[in-house]
Amino acid sequence: MYKFRELAKAAKKETEGKEYRLAVLGNVATQFLSQAIGGYAHLSGMNLKVFDADYNQIDAQLLDPSSETYEFEPDYILLYLATDKLYEEFMERDASARGTFADDIMRKLSDYWDMISRSSKAKILHMGFTEIDDRAFGNFGARTETAFTYQMRKLGFLLQEAESARAGVYPVDLLAVQISLGMDKFYDPVLYYNAKVNIALDAMGYVAKQVIDVLSAMQGHARKCVVLDLDNTLWGGVIGDDGLSGIEIGELGRGHVFTDFQLWLRSLKQRGILLAVCSKNDEDNAKEPFEKHEEMVLRLSDFAMFVANWEDKATNIRFIQKTLNIGMDSLVFIDDNPFERELVRSMIPEICVPELPSDPARYLSFLQGLNLFETASYSSEDADRTGMYQAEAKRRESEASFTSLDDYLISLEMKGCAAAFDKLHYPRIAQLTQRSNQFNLRTVRYTEEEIERVASDDSYVTLYYTLRDKFGDHGLVSVVIMKKESDEEFFIDTWLMSCRVLKRGMEEYIINRLVEEAGTHGAKKLRAEYIPTAKNKMVEHIYDAMGFDCIGEGLYSLDIRKFKELKTYIKDAAV
């Protein structure tokens, strides 16, 4: 981990790229924390400007709509209520008022959130609570309502509940940092009493990482797929040599290690991370344990792709990445063999290759400690992402049997649907605006809260699109937000689409329905824009292809009265 002085130096440096602004507010002194976050951002390539509010000014800063915090126009506000300070408040209370401490503080926190929503569009990062055990009641504190431990643990739970019920608030798990470092490393009493800083300087880097991990996920960076070796990674031993009965998996001995590892991987899959196999093996040998071994946790159906052959792994990983059509930087490659790791690292610098410990017993805690799978959202569609990719594989097989693309597209029996944003779909819509990088014309990111606001604002026309075909349901694949600039002229603020459904007539279907919808709302003219980013070159000319007129660099317009419906094989489905 970086030393504090390295972070402090890095904080002074300029960073390229899109600028994000973070305001830090605490009930303790936060200058060091702000420096550390700024420095960590620079070292991770994030252009983050940090504003540090004065000591213990949260109420004043948030109440006054013209405060420095709001003037700074932050994209994010980090709220940090240190347990050490809360502890002092707690002790100053009458003993009789201590039993409601957690509820009182929680009420104050939601007031803060309300104040922020009133005066700012900033998303809220809320630092979780660390623990202090004052041992005033000893172990008995855990069942004594007026004990600090009891109240703080309750507060932690209340905070979780409140966060999950409210869009636009993102937790930063400070307790996890305190636990992994230990009390003594996390807290330096001399620093606290000297400067009201309750995080030791040596711990600042770890805390800053936690904040930057969350910000990075909110900005759309997410790992999407774990590529796995088999022998001595998913089970002990070598299937080709040891055979089905010889490999280690299951309750006995070292098998337990691999069983737990597979259980963890399966829970990643259940939350939307794709699993793929990349193994140097004969395919039949490699598949046998998943089909026949009774104690295997993962089954073939858990994998989005299964590649077992004797090619080099870099080539196979490129094939997996291309087939799944996701960014190379969203892949994690896990292999016990240092040679393979080094080869893949050197051939594909963008991919994440954890330096796995040599003892399999340590795989799990090591990988969990890296926090590789940060996310800023979770929707029910995530759960079945593997199924969607598997249906895609079947489509590809079927595609190969047709000689003309038209015949193939007709055979898919595609049904599309367009509808205005509704409450049920806010999370998925927000998630797509945050995650889509390639097919995204202006890359405007929205939180759930903002999506809700846009949906209920008459000056916007919103559409989400779904698509299904005979192989399966693609779910919600595209989002359009149009802003009424006048009664007759609408501007396409957002158009994004999942790359899963590229080039099968969905683009045309979207534009047809978009123009129709704009027409129904009285528009005669549409304006549109393409804003280039490092990742969206694929849609550079999409508006040209859709029949819009180019009226300047990246600027387009369309006369709705002259628009001729674009050809597509996607038919309307009932909503």
The nearer residue to another protein, 192 or 303, going by C-beta atoms, is 192
Options 3-11, 86-94, 223-231, 536-544: segment touching another protein (CB under 8 A) = 3-11
Residue with tokens 């990111």: 445
> Is 8 one of the binding residues for another protein (CB under 8 A)?
yes
Q: How far apart are CA 61 and CA 25, in angstroms?
A: 8
Give least dist CB 202 to another protein, A.
Answer: 7
* Residue 200 C-beta: closest distance to another protein, Å: 8
CB of 24 to another protein, least distance (A): 15
Other C-beta atoms within 10 Å of 445: how many? Answer: 18
Q: Which residue has the tokens 């409601």?
A: 100
Tally of CB atoms within 10 A around 30: 26
Q: Cα dihedral sign for 317, 320, 322, 325? A: negative
Stretch that binds another protein, among 95-103, 185-193, 256-264, 331-339 (CB under 8 A): 185-193
Closer by beta carbon to another protein, 30 or else 438: 30
Task: For residue 176, give the nearest of 129, 213, 134 by alpha carbon.
Answer: 129
- Reading phi first (left if > 0) and then psi (alpha if -120 to 50, else beta), residue 182 is in left
Q: Report, in Å, the least distance between residue 483 CB and another protein.
A: 45
Count of residues that bind another protein according to CB under 8 A:
15
Q: Which two tokens mark 276?
A: 């793929």
Distance CA 432, CA 377 (A): 10
Q: Which is nearer to another protein, 36 or 510 (CB)?
A: 36
Using CB under 8 A, which of the segments 5-13, 120-128, 167-175, 512-520 binds another protein?
Answer: 5-13
Beta carbon nearer to another protein, 3 or 394: 3
Between 190 and 400, CB nearer to another protein: 190
Render the burial of 389-404: b for 16+ CB within 10 Å, e for the rest. Answer: bbbbeebeeeeeeeee
Nearer to another protein, 204 or 353 (CB): 204
Question: Nearest distance from residue 88's CB to another protein, in Å?
Answer: 17
Nearest CB to another protein, comparing residues 194 and 315:
194
List 2, 4, 76, 148, residue binding another protein (CB under 8 A):
4
Give the tokens for residue 545. Answer: 């292809």
H-state helical runs in 423-573? 426-435, 448-455, 506-520, 542-545
- What are the angstrom distances between the C-alpha of 437 and each of 46, 229, 422, 426, 534? 16, 28, 23, 19, 9
Least distance in angstroms from the C-beta of 273 to another protein: 38
Of 187-195, 227-235, 263-271, 340-348, the window that binds another protein (rule: CB under 8 A) is 187-195
Q: Can you tell me which of 9, 121, 266, 524 binds another protein, judged by CB under 8 A? A: 9
Residue type, 139: N
Nearest to another protein of 14, 458 (CB atom) = 14
Q: Is 11 in the site for another protein (CB under 8 A)?
A: no
Which residues is 77 bridged to in the sheet?
Answer: 23, 124
CB 36 within 8 A of CB 7: yes
Cα 10 to chain center, whole Å?
26
Contact 35, 12 (CB under 8 A): no
Tokens of 289: 């344990």
The single residue listed with the structure tokens 């026309």 is: 461
Residue numbers 123-152 binding another protein by CB under 8 A? none
Report the site for another protein in 15-44 (rule: CB under 8 A): 31-32
Q: Of 9 and 266, which has the nearer Cβ to another protein?
A: 9
> Virtual CA dihedral for 345, 350, 352, 358, nearest 10 degrees?
10
Closest contact distance (angstroms) between CB of 55 and another protein is: 12
Q: Which is nearer to another protein, 195 or 347 (CB)?
A: 195
Cβ of residue 82: shortest distance to another protein, in angstroms? 17
Q: How far is the CB of 117 from another protein (least distance, A)?
A: 33
Single out the segment in contact with another protein by CB under 8 A; choices: 186-194, 205-213, 285-293, 477-485. Answer: 186-194
User: Helix 313-324 and helix 338-347: axis angle, to 10°?
Assistant: 60
Q: Site mask, another protein, residues 190-219, x = CB under 8 A?
A: xx-xxx-x---xx-----------------
Quick count: other Cβ atoms within 10 Å of Cβ 359? Answer: 10
State yes or no: residue 112 binds another protein (CB under 8 A). Answer: no
Q: How far is CA 306 from CA 302, 421, 429, 458, in A?
A: 10, 37, 30, 48
Contacts to another protein by CB under 8 A: 3-5, 8-9, 31-32, 190-191, 193-195, 197, 201-202
